[in-house]
A and B are shown apart, each in its own frame.
Chain A
Amino acid sequence: MAALQPLDDTARPGAGGVPGDAVTPEPPGRVRRGRSGRRTRARRRGAAFWLAVAWLVTVAVCALAAEWLPVPDPNVPDVTRRFDPPNPDNLLGADALGRDQLSRVVHAARVSLVVSVSAVTIGMVVGGTLGTAVGYLRGRSERLVMATVDVMAAFPGLVLLLAVLAFVGRSLTVISLVIGLLSIPIYARVARANTLAVAQREFVHAAHTMGARRSRILFREIVPNVVPAVAAFALVAMGLVIVIEGSLALLGLSIEPPDPTWGGMIAASKPNLDRAPHTALVPSAAMFLTVLSLNFVGDTLRRSFDVKDAGL
């Protein structure tokens, strides 16, 4: 999976979704998904989906309410507890400075949440608005915007991200802003593709025929149908952003200590794998489960919102 390339991993045209999912462009007239696909989908709406949602809710609660949870201060070292395995005082053990791993992993959820939500919001608001607008308006503005988007996508965003972090400073704001900026092109593409599809549908044509104003059609008919699809895509993208933070941490370019991040915890655990594997396992598991859940929920939702699936 792309570690540092938010741009192209999921930037498949048509819609968004978990990388590799069937979101390929379909020539008109091809039947989209067969019975077996539908059956699979129906099954997935079961326990696994709600488990994933439950995990995400837990992570969100941890992120929002970390201070009020009954865990020790995540940043207070206690050298006597260095590398302690899980025990009644430290349910998930202690790290190299003897800090409580449970508390750190809980507080780290906040960074992951803030980075992923703000980066995704920037991309979604700017890219989504642009994509929807030009997808509906078409014409010269569309060509101009999409050409810009193509150039942005071809620009090595990775270089920008690393350079800005190294030169300007490593902060939550910088990471969120840059990743958000870099993800604008994907959202623009996803939103535009969905807008194009929605604009073809009967109710839009009907509204046109009835003489509705274009702005009304855009906001009453198009937007409500495009937003869910883009939002489902955004959930998957959030997972990607969390992974990017982890990669940055391994390069020493994530936020400054001592505030914990999952990536930072993994990077810090690397020299201690042999004597304290729990220091690596705990944050890795948290990151894995969260990304998995985001992919799963995002993917499931996307299937239900996907305009192509919605019974054209």
Chain B
Amino acid sequence: MGLEPTRRARAGTRLVWALVAAGLIAAGCGGDDDSGSAGDTTGAESDISEQGDPVYGGSITVGLEAETDEWLPGNGSFANAGTSVAYAIYDPLMRRDADGEMQPYLAESIEPNDDLTEWTLTLRPGVQFHDGTPLNAEALKTVFDDYLKAPGTNTAGALTDVEMVIVDDLTVTYQLPNPNSAWPDQLGLAVGWPFSPTAAAAAGEDAGSQPVGTGPFVFDSWERDNRLVVKKNPDYWQEGLPYLDEIVFRPIPDEDTRISSLTTGDIDVLQTLRQSSGVRVRDLDGVDSYEQLGNTTGVNIFNTTKPPLDDVRVREALARAVDQEQIIEIQGGTGVVPPSTQIFNEDDPYWSEAVADAWPGYDADAAGELIDEYVNDPARSDGKAPGEPVTFRYDCPPDPSLVDMAQLYQSFWGQVGVEVELRQVEQATHISEAISGDYDAKCFRAGLDRDPYPTLNDAFTADSAINFTRFTDPAIDADLEALAASSDLEERQALVEEISLIVNENFPMTYHGSTLSVLGARDVVKNLDGWSFPDGAEGSGTPGATTMWGFVWTTE
């Protein structure tokens, strides 16, 4: 590695990954990773046929919502689609269980020291990568130092000042610069997907297209934008797994064509994060739908440093001017997706009733008054003469359902006298503008399918590169510090509630409903949500429309 062209390629994608890591993802680009919420929530209802007994053999085709740029952790941008594929080839060191706790998966155990600055990870004996390289402390450290922390990778930022120390052949410690109770969370992401350092070194620049992990399936071939094929790993470390002989992953970005490919049987499984698609999949005959209400919510982010949205009156007016139910309705989410008042959904331990009560409802009159107040303020921040209308630009990616949503927002805001210019903007530009602050308002998806600490820390602190709204508050900083140093749930809940309250008083973002993630499968494909940990503990199902492919079988 380290050759220029590869690093170049890699760096272009690091933004996206940084967002995934933060759980903050542009709407339309996929959202979350490991979900904290398990089981059914308000609107999500899975509809699954009789599962029967496992069957060995067979091949399935999976339709994904996007292609992934490359497959080497640290270089690739793993959104939902990419993560789904990654779980076939790699094993995560840690994953979330049915109760939302991070548990060792590929790792045997993980233990922090008392002040949460040193985490000791023990590996299972006898695990090998697909190329025969043993998974041991040395392999882990080579990957950590030479790849994940290499300058230009998208993981380097998260690992600043983190050191890995080898204790013995199967034990390492992560040495953190500050206390962080949420560290295991990081090991459920790409940082915690060990890959073979020997294979990566041998492949050089092409390592991103020849992934070698420890997972239930071995990478076979990849035609970009068409298909990626993985074959059964006969030497998988979990006895009896996997069931399938082969999986073909096909990126089909268009929602309609992906759904029709499922109905025509061209694909056996699809994933989607669109409410409207989820509802359509639910109604298909002979299709099992595995729904999970992700702990992510659609949001509008406002640039709190740029007039006129730097004025909290304007932001509050924008929040009050909108009937969230209607926004959800035109997204096709009515009855499925509950309105949101905060980033967490109602089943999440960090959801707070106080925060929900503090969020103002739809009140166009109040919104109009706030706007009038700003418009007639001689010292209004946008420098216009009193009486001039408030104007700003609202950006959203050019997806049909988002375009509909943007137009409805424009209409709501127009009714209280705000003139909004709509702009469709590609994902890459969308994200880079959010980072550089060259925007007024954008549609995004904010997610906390991780521990709240890293996401809130990224979203609302001054030294975060991805604090898109540029909203900061000293009280939030203090709360975050306490949050990182605490592993007591109740204490943490109180801290997160305080932060959420401050956020909701200042309106750096408004909400438009939680994200429904759906895996739709022809009913011959079984057990998409039935995976478990090596010690038998129940897994978290299909968070973000991902699953553990080793546990899936087909009766066909």
A–B contact with Cβ pairs below 8 Å: the answer is yes
A interface, CB within 8 angstroms of B? 75-77, 79, 82, 96-97, 166, 169-170, 252-253, 256-258, 267-268, 270-271, 273
CB <8 Å contact, B422 and A256: yes
A165 and B406 alpha carbons, distance in the complex (Å) = 20
A267 and B255 alpha carbons, distance in the complex (Å) = 13
Indicate which residue in A166, A256, A270 contacts B426 across the interface (CB closer than 8 Å).
A166
Interface string of B223-255 (1 = CB under 8 A from A): 000000000000000000000000000000001
A–B Cβ pairs within 8 angstroms, 27 of them: A76-B411, A77-B407, A77-B408, A77-B411, A79-B326, A79-B329, A79-B408, A82-B330, A96-B330, A96-B404, A97-B330, A97-B404, A97-B408, A166-B426, A169-B423, A170-B424, A252-B424, A253-B398, A256-B421, A256-B423, A257-B407, A258-B407, A258-B422, A268-B400, A268-B403, A271-B255, A273-B256
Tell me the minimal C-beta distance from A257 to chain B in angstroms.
5
CB <8 Å contact, A257 and B411: no
Tell me the minimal C-beta distance from B405 to chain A in angstroms.
9
Interface string of B112-140 (1 = CB under 8 A from A): 00000000000000000000000000000
In the assembled complex, which residues on chain A have CB atoms less than 8 Å from the CB atom of B423?
169, 256
Pair count A-B, CB < 8 A: 53
Residue of B nearest to A274 (CB): B280
Indicate which residue in B330, B400, B401, B422 contacts A79 across the interface (CB closer than 8 Å).
B330
In the assembled complex, which residues on chain B have CB atoms less than 8 Å from the CB atom of A252?
398-399, 424
Residue from the set B256, B407, B408, B423 with the largest chain A CB neighbour count within 10 Å: B407
A268 and B256 alpha carbons, distance in the complex (Å) = 12
B391 at the interface (CB under 8 A from A): no
In the assembled complex, which residues on chain B have CB atoms less than 8 Å from the CB atom of A76?
411
Tell me the minimal C-beta distance from A195 to chain B in angstroms.
43
CB <8 Å contact, A257 and B403: yes
In the assembled complex, which residues on chain A have CB atoms less than 8 Å from the CB atom of B256?
270-271, 273
In the assembled complex, which residues on chain A have CB atoms less than 8 Å from the CB atom of B411?
75-77, 97, 258
Tell me the minimal C-beta distance from A76 to chain B in angstroms.
6
A253 and B426 alpha carbons, distance in the complex (Å) = 10
B interface, CB within 8 angstroms of A? 255-256, 276, 326, 329-330, 398-401, 403-404, 406-408, 410-411, 421-424, 426
Q: A77-B408, A79-B408 are in contact. Are A257 and B400 (CB under 8 A)?
A: no
In the assembled complex, which residues on chain B have CB atoms less than 8 Å from the CB atom of A166?
426
11 further interface pairs, Cβ-Cβ under 8 Å (given A256-B423, A258-B411):
A75-B411, A77-B407, A77-B408, A79-B330, A82-B329, A166-B426, A170-B424, A256-B421, A257-B410, A270-B400, A271-B255
CB <8 Å contact, A267 and B400: yes
CB <8 Å contact, A258 and B410: yes
In the assembled complex, which residues on chain A have CB atoms less than 8 Å from the CB atom of B403?
257, 268
Residue of B nearest to A98 (CB): B330
In the assembled complex, which residues on chain A have CB atoms less than 8 Å from the CB atom of B406?
257
Residue of A nearest to B257 (CB): A270
A97 and B399 alpha carbons, distance in the complex (Å) = 15
A273 and B410 alpha carbons, distance in the complex (Å) = 25
CB <8 Å contact, B276 and A97: no
Tell me the minimal C-beta distance from A254 to chain B in angstroms.
9
CB <8 Å contact, B404 and A268: yes
Q: Which secondary structure dominates chain A's binding surface?
A: loop
Residue of A nearest to B411 (CB): A77
A253 and B398 alpha carbons, distance in the complex (Å) = 8
A162 and B404 alpha carbons, distance in the complex (Å) = 23
A80 and B399 alpha carbons, distance in the complex (Å) = 22
A97 and B330 alpha carbons, distance in the complex (Å) = 7
Residue of A nearest to B415 (CB): A76
In the assembled complex, which residues on chain A have CB atoms less than 8 Å from the CB atom of B410?
257-258
Residue of B nearest to A95 (CB): B404
Residue of A nearest to B396 (CB): A257
Residue of A nearest to B328 (CB): A79
Indicate which residue in A75, A170, A253, A267 contacts B407 across the interface (CB closer than 8 Å).
A75
A267 and B326 alpha carbons, distance in the complex (Å) = 22
A76 and B400 alpha carbons, distance in the complex (Å) = 18
A273 and B276 alpha carbons, distance in the complex (Å) = 13
A169 and B423 alpha carbons, distance in the complex (Å) = 9
A237 and B26 alpha carbons, distance in the complex (Å) = 40
In the assembled complex, which residues on chain B have CB atoms less than 8 Å from the CB atom of A75?
407, 411
A96 and B421 alpha carbons, distance in the complex (Å) = 20
In the assembled complex, which residues on chain A have CB atoms less than 8 Å from the CB atom of B407?
75, 77, 97, 257-258
Tell me the minimal C-beta distance from A74 to chain B in angstroms.
11
CB <8 Å contact, A271 and B400: yes
A253 and B403 alpha carbons, distance in the complex (Å) = 12
Tell me the minimal C-beta distance from B66 to chain A in angstroms.
15
Residue of B nearest to A99 (CB): B407
Tell me the minimal C-beta distance from A163 to chain B in angstroms.
12
Q: Give 8 closest A-B pairs by Cβ, nearest first.
A: A252-B398, A258-B407, A79-B326, A77-B411, A257-B407, A256-B422, A271-B256, A96-B404
CB <8 Å contact, B422 and A271: no
In the assembled complex, which residues on chain A have CB atoms less than 8 Å from the CB atom of B329?
79, 82
A308 and B329 alpha carbons, distance in the complex (Å) = 61
Tell me the minimal C-beta distance from A302 to chain B in angstroms.
38
A240 and B398 alpha carbons, distance in the complex (Å) = 24
Tell me the minimal C-beta distance from B438 to chain A in angstroms.
14
In the assembled complex, which residues on chain B have CB atoms less than 8 Å from the CB atom of A170?
424
CB <8 Å contact, A257 and B401: no
A35 and B386 alpha carbons, distance in the complex (Å) = 75
A257 and B422 alpha carbons, distance in the complex (Å) = 6
In the assembled complex, which residues on chain B have CB atoms less than 8 Å from the CB atom of A270?
256, 400
In the assembled complex, which residues on chain A have CB atoms less than 8 Å from the CB atom of B422?
256-258
Residue of B nearest to A79 (CB): B326
Residue of A nearest to B327 (CB): A79
In the assembled complex, which residues on chain A have CB atoms less than 8 Å from the CB atom of B426?
166
In the assembled complex, which residues on chain B have CB atoms less than 8 Å from the CB atom of A97?
330, 404, 407-408, 411
Q: A77-B407, A79-B408, A256-B421 are in contact. Are A271 and B330 (CB under 8 A)?
A: no
Tell me the minimal C-beta distance from A165 to chain B in angstroms.
10
In the assembled complex, which residues on chain A have CB atoms less than 8 Å from the CB atom of B276?
271
Tell me the minimal C-beta distance from B152 to chain A in angstroms.
25
Residue of A nearest to B405 (CB): A97
Residue of A nearest to B401 (CB): A271
A286 and B454 alpha carbons, distance in the complex (Å) = 52
In the assembled complex, which residues on chain A have CB atoms less than 8 Å from the CB atom of B404?
96-97, 268
Residue from the set A79, A166, A268, A271 with the largest chain B CB neighbour count within 10 Å: A271
A21 and B408 alpha carbons, distance in the complex (Å) = 46
In the assembled complex, which residues on chain B have CB atoms less than 8 Å from the CB atom of A257?
403, 406-407, 410, 422, 424
